[in-house]
A and B are shown apart, each in its own frame.
Chain A
Amino acid sequence: MARVTFVSSFCDNLTGGAESLELSAANVFGLVRALEARFPGMAEHVEKRAAIAVDGEVVQAWGTPISEDSEVLLYPRIAGG
């Protein structure tokens, strides 16, 4: 199972404050669907607000595969100027 960690509190309102959990998914699309199933509203929240790193690398392409021992980090997406 891949481990998903929510970095900082930006998902707390939807996840009830969970720090991390284990999920199975083939890629980031699948991961987001799995999160939505567990915490309704997560899909839109992640799409609009989150940055995602898989195994230490920032991922823009949600087709990026996730393996059984992947580390996935979700943290806020911020804007530059």
Chain B
Amino acid sequence: MTKLLDKQELKVVGTRPVRPDGADKVTGKAVYGADYNLPGMLRGAILRSPHAHARILSIDTRKAEALPGVKAVATNADFPKVDMGEIDAGEAGINVDRAGQMCLAREKVFYEGQPVAAVAATSASIAAEAVRLIEVEYEVLPHVIGVEEAMREDAPVLHDDMFTEGLPETPTKPSNVVLRFESAKGDPDAALAAADVVGSGRYSTQPVHQGYIEPQACIVSVGGDGQAQIWCSSQGQFMVRSVTAAITGMNLADLRVVPLEIGGGFGGKTTVYLEPVALVLSKKSGRPVKMVLSREEVFRSTGPGPGAIVDVQIGATKDGILTGAILEMKYQVGAFPGAGCQAGVMHALGCYRIANSRIVGWDVVSNMPSTHAYRAPSAPQSEFAVECAIDDIARQLGMDPIELREKNGVKPGDPSFSGAPYGDIAFMETLAAAKEHPHYAAPLGPNQGRGIAAGWWVNHGGESTAMVSINEDGSAVVATGNPDIGGSRASMAMMAAEVLGLPIEKVRPIVADTSSIGFSMLTGGSRTTFATGRAVSEAAADVVEQLKGRAAMIWGVESDKVEWSDGQARCTDPQQDLPPLSIKDIASKTSKTGGPIAAEKSVNPGDAMQTFGVHICDSEVDPETGHVRIVRYTAVQDVGRAIHPSYVEGQAQGGAVQGIGWALNEAYMFDANGRLDNPGFLDYRMPVASDLPMIDTLLVEKPHPGHPFGVKGVGEVPIVPPLAAVANSVSAATGKRFYDLPLSPARVHAALNGAA
């Protein structure tokens, strides 16, 4: 069922029904990770390293164990020795040993805040007291945090088994450089030398946290026979099962993961930090164990998006044709390789047809929490540099910045990074829509400037399973294995309702646990409405065929004489005068026509389509304070087709604001001892309501021709353009180019007053 349905014929898809989980969420009834409780449960707590880099010489838990109320303690020694290398637990692999060390450190600690030991006790306060009684002897080692500092010959080396990959000769000495990654074509050096204008610079960004408001939380209960259940919030219950089972040495079938509601993820919850620890504690104590991170622990130990230094040069002719580009990007991936440079390299130039390029990326470890996915992981950093350089080219040429992008923007059929041609992408349409938007022509006031930037993300397909079943009263249930992080379950119900021909209130979606639905890859990668939606559509279509077959049986006609429309079976034989049969009519007779009607479909599409965004940002810079205020913001995005427009708009708005925070305020700040100075929302300053205007959105719909509802991924693209859109607007407002994010008032003020 891949034929694209005509938008005019759609009755449910494209409307804005109230989401099925909405009433519970506005009344406080929805159950998130920390809201779940079990009888007899213990509370877990973690002892964390106070040092940024140290060897663990000994851990003595005896005093903690002796404290009344303490029922179990755990260290990395409780995880079995793992020889699994990487497992497939997301779109890319997860290294089991390292994931285990991020749950509980082994012989070294690599960042302040890394878990070293854990306890489970009968109350949270006893658990906290027990943690204080654990004695750890450390041999403190010198630490390093900055990416270029960590690359130096004399830098403290984190892992003595890390030998840089991707060099012409494998080095004999370990270093902090994980890998070198290069992609090149044509002759960029010659192209740059011959260029009429060059946009160049060294751009930098700092590590930024995904900033989900809900800290990680789980309850794990291990039974007397070793079978276990986990209730947790996560972006993927199957991923939780895979990684937890791998770290703790369990069979997958013995572990059932029940997804609770999730309070934000943005990629940060596509791995586990607590579940393996809670599982060990539950096994040892024989009781369920609940573990919830504090906000400080979230900042000190869960993975941010990487900081990066990007050197960029882009050359153009005087007519504005981009001819060559050379980039080098160094990603600060944290203590263990995490979200790194490869996606940054692959996305850097993907908006443009540039025949000659060389992009080199480096992944560098250092003593901060291992980075993890954050919405279009690693692309904002590299596309930021490219979009600023292009802005500079437009300025040098006196050319409209959208027009410059239109001259060079990729079109359907142009080669993508891999060399395979782009499909029915809509970058040109998105640029055109931005150019025509009233925002683009609106007048500006004093100290105000306008910046635009483009961005794109590859989007993912991946494995999904969906089940649709019909109840005796003709209503339907749709079950998938994808946690709902932004309203996707509403879209699942809408797509099923459309195919079945039922009103939306009669189709109820659930997010099933790992034992109740076939495998699904996690929710992330902008894949859920696309891939899981396709599984839902196919399952619903299968159900429709079954309903038609039952109708044929009831009527005693050939099955090719039955058509389905508006939720009813109609007999197409003009000889017969049969009134239509509704789903309810057929469902009430299933026991007489062959049994229950249901279908489960698994998909693994490879044809996810890349999507693009163009953002327009007006900012006002206060020359006395350097404070940047966003006065107007418009996010234009190509979305394929919006199943539920409110939630697609929401993705564009939320991603844009995360990008605004990244550009203006957010950064990890470490002190001289490698301790994070701002592990809280007061000093890790995310945008608040009073920082922002309305975020206008314009959804450009050019449907994916291979998806029944034309869906393209939308969730990640919107965080890519804002970094450069904001920076370019500040440049326009001040006449100065800014290279380093965040554009804090102090930094802007210093630049305006002539400081370096």
Direct contact of A and B (CB under 8 A): yes
Cβ of A23 to closest chain B Cβ, rounded Å: 17
Q: Which of A5, A53, A73, A76 contacts B346 (CB 8 A)?
A: A76
Give the B interface residue count (CB, 8 A): 53
Q: Is the CB of A59 within 8 A of B606?
A: yes
The chain B residue sitting closest to A8, CB to CB, is B183
- Cβ contact within 8 Å between B604 and A78: no
> Does B148 sit at the interface, judged by CB under 8 A?
no
Residues in B with CB closer than 8 Å to A56 are 420-421
Contact with B268, one of A48, A79, A81 (Cβ below 8 angstroms) = A81
Closest residue of B by beta carbon distance from A58: B606
Once A9-B183, A10-B181 are accepted as A-B contacts, the answer to whether A73 and B457 lie under 8 Å apart by CB is no
* A81–B376 touching, CB < 8 Å: yes
Please report which residues of chain A, range 66-81, place their CB below 8 angstroms from some CB of chain B when the two chains form the complex.
Answer: 71, 73, 75-81
CA–CA, A81 and B268, complex, Å? 7
Asked if B182 and A9 make an inter-chain contact with CB atoms under 8 angstroms apart, the answer reads yes
CB atoms of A80 and B376 under 8 A apart: yes
Q: Which residue of A lies closest to B345 (CB)?
A: A8
13 pairs from A and B in contact (CB 8 Å cutoff): A9-B166, A9-B182, A13-B165, A51-B418, A56-B421, A57-B420, A57-B606, A58-B420, A58-B461, A60-B604, A71-B419, A79-B343, A80-B526
Cβ 8 A contact of A58, one of B170, B343, B417, B607: B607
Q: Is B166 a contact of A75 with CB atoms below 8 Å?
A: no
Of B85, B418, B525, B608, which one neighbours A81 at CB under 8 angstroms? B525
Taking CB as reference atom, which chain B residue is nearest A81? B267
Task: Verify B607–A80 contact, CB threshold 8 A.
Answer: no
Known: A9-B166, A81-B376. 14 other contacts (CB 8 A): A8-B181, A8-B182, A13-B165, A71-B419, A73-B419, A76-B342, A78-B91, A78-B92, A79-B90, A79-B524, A80-B458, A80-B524, A80-B526, A81-B372
Min CB–CB distance B355 → chain A (angstroms): 16
Taking CB atoms, residues of chain A closer than 8 Å to B641 are none
B166: which of A10, A57, A77, A79 is its contact (CB, 8 Å)?
Answer: A10
Q: Is A7 in contact with B418, judged by CB distance below 8 angstroms?
A: yes
Smallest Cβ-Cβ distance to A13: which chain B residue: B165
Q: What CA separation (Å) do A75 and B185 show in the bound complex?
A: 14
Per-position binary interface string of chain B over residues 89-104, scored 1 when its CB falls under 8 Å from any chain A CB and 0 otherwise: 0111100000000000
Contact at A7–B266, with CB atoms within 8 Å? no
Nearest chain B residue, comparing its CB with the CB of A51: B418
User: Which residues does chain A contribute within 8 Å of B165, judged by CB atoms?
Assistant: 13
Q: Give the CA-CA distance A75 to B347 in the complex, in Å.
A: 13
Q: Give every chain A residue within 8 A of B372 (Cβ-Cβ).
A: 81
Q: Does B373 contact A (CB under 8 A)?
A: yes
In the complex, the answer to whether B377 meets A79 with C-beta atoms within 8 Å is: yes
A61-B419 CB under 8 A given contacts A8-B181, A78-B342, A79-B92: no
Chain A residues within an 8 Å CB radius of B55: none
Give the residues from 1 to 24 in chain A that come closer than 8 angstroms, CB to CB, to chain B: 5, 7-10, 12-13, 17
Contact A80 to B606, CB < 8 A, known contacts A8-B181, A56-B421: no
Task: Tell me if B86 counts as interface (CB < 8 A to partner A).
Answer: yes
Smallest Cβ distance from B303 to chain A, in angstroms? 10
A28 to B459, CA, bound (A): 23
Task: Tell whether, in the assembled complex, residue B604 and residue A61 are in contact, meaning their CB atoms are under 8 Å apart.
Answer: yes
- For chain B residues 370-387, which have a beta carbon within 8 Å of chain A? 372-378
Contact residues, B645-667 vs A (CB, 8 A):
none
A73 to B419, CA, bound (A): 7
B residues near A, CB below 8 A? Answer: 85-86, 88, 90-93, 165-166, 168, 170, 180-183, 210, 266-268, 270, 339, 342-343, 345-346, 372-378, 417-421, 457-462, 524-527, 604-608, 716
Complex alpha-carbon distance, A12 and B167, angstroms? 8
Q: CB-CB < 8 A to A81: which residues of B?
A: 210, 266-268, 270, 339, 372-377, 524-525, 716
A71 to B168, CA, bound (A): 27
**Inside 8 A of A71's CB, which chain B residues have their CB?**
419
Name the CB-closest residue of A to B94: A79
Residue of A nearest to B604 (CB): A60
**Which of A13, A61, A73 meets B418, CB within 8 Å?**
A73
State the interface size on chain A (CB cutoff 8 A).
27
Q: Is the CB of A10 within 8 A of B342?
A: yes
Give the nearest-CB partner of B90 in chain A. Answer: A79
Could you tell me if B527 and A60 are in contact, using CB atoms closer than 8 angstroms? Answer: no
**A60–B165 Cα gap in the complex (Å)?**
26
**Alpha-carbon gap, A22 to B568, bound state (A):** 55
Q: Do B86 and A48 touch across chains, with their CB atoms under 8 A apart? A: yes
**A80 B267 Cβ-Cβ under 8 A:** yes
If A7-B419, A8-B345, A9-B183 touch, whether A80 touches B166 (CB-CB below 8 Å) is: no
How far apart sit A5 and B378, CA to CA, in the bound complex (Å)?
A: 25
Which listed residue, B93, B376, B377, touches A49 by the CB 8 Å rule? B93
3 residue pairs, one from A and one from B, having the closest CB atoms: A81-B267, A80-B525, A81-B373
Do A80 and B418 touch (CB < 8 A)?
no
B377 contacts which chain A residues (CB < 8 A)? Answer: 78-81
A10 and B360 alpha carbons, distance in the complex (Å): 11
Chain B nearest Cβ from A42, distance in angstroms: 14
Residue of A8, A10, A13, A80 touching B91 (CB-CB under 8 A): A80
Is A57 in contact with B607, judged by CB distance below 8 angstroms? yes
Nearest-Cβ distance from residue B464 to partner chain A, whole angstroms: 12
The reply to whether A7 and B181 contact each other, CB–CB distance below 8 Å, is no
Tell me the bound Cα distance from A81 to B459 in angstroms: 10
Residues of chain A with a CB closer than 8 A to B210's CB? 81
* Closest chain A residue, CB of each to CB of B525: A80
CA distance A27 to B607 in the complex (A): 19
A4→B86 CA distance, assembly (Å) = 25
Q: A76 to B219: give the CA distance in the assembly, Å.
A: 36
Q: Provide the bound-state CA to CA distance between A77 and B270, in Å.
A: 16
Do B166 and A13 touch (CB < 8 A)?
A: yes
CA A41 – CA B421 in complex, angstroms? 29
A16, closest chain B residue (CB): B168
Residues of chain B contacted by A51 (CB below 8 angstroms) = 418
CB-contact partner of B181 in A9, A17, A58, under 8 A: A9
Most buried by B among A5, A59, A71, A79: A79
Residue with the greatest number of chain A CB neighbours at <10 A, chosen from B170, B372, B417: B417
Chain A neighbourhood of B345, CB < 8 A? 8
The docked-state distance in angstroms from the alpha carbon of A76 to that of B106 is 30
Question: Bound complex: CA of A80 vs CA of B530, how far in Å?
Answer: 14
